[in-house]
Amino acid sequence: MMKKYLLLAFSLLFGLSQSQIIRKYSNEFLNIGAGARGLAMGGAVITNQDDVYAPMWNPAGLMSVERDWQGAAMHAEYFESIAKYDYLAYAKVLEEGVFGVSVVRLGVDNILNTTQMIDSEGNIDYDKITKFSQSDYAAILSYAFRPGGNPKLDVGVNAKIVYRNVGKFANGYGFGFDVGAIYKADNGWKFGGMVRDITTTVNFWSVNQKELSTVVNGEEFNPAPKDKLELTMPKLNVGASKLFEINSSVYVLPEAGINVDFAKTASLISTDFASISPYAGAELGYQKMIFVRLGINRFQSITDIEDLKRKVSFQPSAGLGIRYRGLTLDYAITNSGIGGSNFYSNFFSLKLDMGAFRND
């Protein structure tokens, strides 16, 4: 267990030491998604996340909140409960649109701090080992509306404030915007897209030079970088879906699309300008009360460490949901998406739809 903590601490501190301003992976905790429904479908909800969880997938989906207000909460734990992910959200129907507010936290607590374990003369003192937490926070304000009152087009905007803290070593503040849209065609098809960090998200870091570095026998170890600026580049998610009614009680809702990162990654299609990865998912519903979901995403081209051959990897996901009046409980098992890991986690999310309660 101590080895895991040390590795996590090293990775966090190493990330601070990089000098580049533009990062391939920045504020990744906001790309995990929220709500077990969307996670179970592999993120295939760009056009059909029609509730309070929409800001994390496509804020335009908030326009489907038609009455009163909705509230939601989700909790998940990764790596044997070392990392914890929490999400709270609220959406309220207004006269001309829908307003939403969301709060996100991803944190790792009780990380061992060994930077002061060795004194200036090289002596080891285990009593100087302390603990710290690394936490990422975000507050998201969302607004969805129909331009010109057009019933076929929904548009949504997120304004994000980000705070990231690495114990006494560093902290950073950031702000940015997301924009999304959903178009509903006459034939039942929906087409949607979301641009995350459309203007880039600017992150201002402040590093505690004294706490991060240490001097042993006149030589400095863990030299701390200077305070710096970090930019989160835009990401594009687009998809299409259509609901198919099997009979009066059963329906199937599939969606497929692509995720585009404007950077070179391990995606199937990857260039210096952009990398493209497909995704797909589906929901089977019975009387709008019981739901079964499947999804597949994160297609990547990787090198097998044993035979050094290039292979295609992907991440499947699945989940269940149950709805009674205005209360919905969803479950998903899926990959966390943190740092490209292959660890699968269980997600539980709860939604309260006050409009449905009062209508029933």
| Residues 190, 97, 66, 280, CA torsion sign | positive
CA distance 342 to 314: 10
pLDDT 10s digits, 25-77: 677 888 888 999 999 999 999 999 999 999 999 999 999 998 889 999 998 88
pLDDT 10s digits, 228-272: 788 888 999 999 999 999 999 999 999 999 999 887 777 777 777
User: Where do we find the tokens 């098992």?
Assistant: 333
CA distance 311 to 317: 20
Q: pLDDT band at 102, cuts 50/70/90?
A: very high
User: Which residues have CB under 8 Å from 139's CB, separation 6+?
Assistant: 101, 102, 103, 160, 161
Going from N- to C-terminal start, the domains of the chain cover 20-356
End-to-end CA distance of the chain: 50
Output the average pLDDT for the chain. Answer: 82
Q: pLDDT band at 226, cuts 50/70/90?
A: low
Token pair listed for 149: 């009152």
Q: What is the CATH number of domain 20-356?
A: 2.40.160.60
CA distance 250 to 244: 9
Provide the Cα torsion 324, 328, 333, 339; round to 10°. 180
Please give the pLDDT value at position 19.
42
Taking residues 106-114, report their average pLDDT.
Answer: 78
Sheet strands (E) in 213-343: 214-216, 219-221, 228-232, 235-242, 244-245, 250-261, 269-270, 275-286, 290-303, 310-324, 327-335
At 348, which amino acid appears?
F
Provide the Cα torsion 234, 236, 237, 240; round to 10°. 160
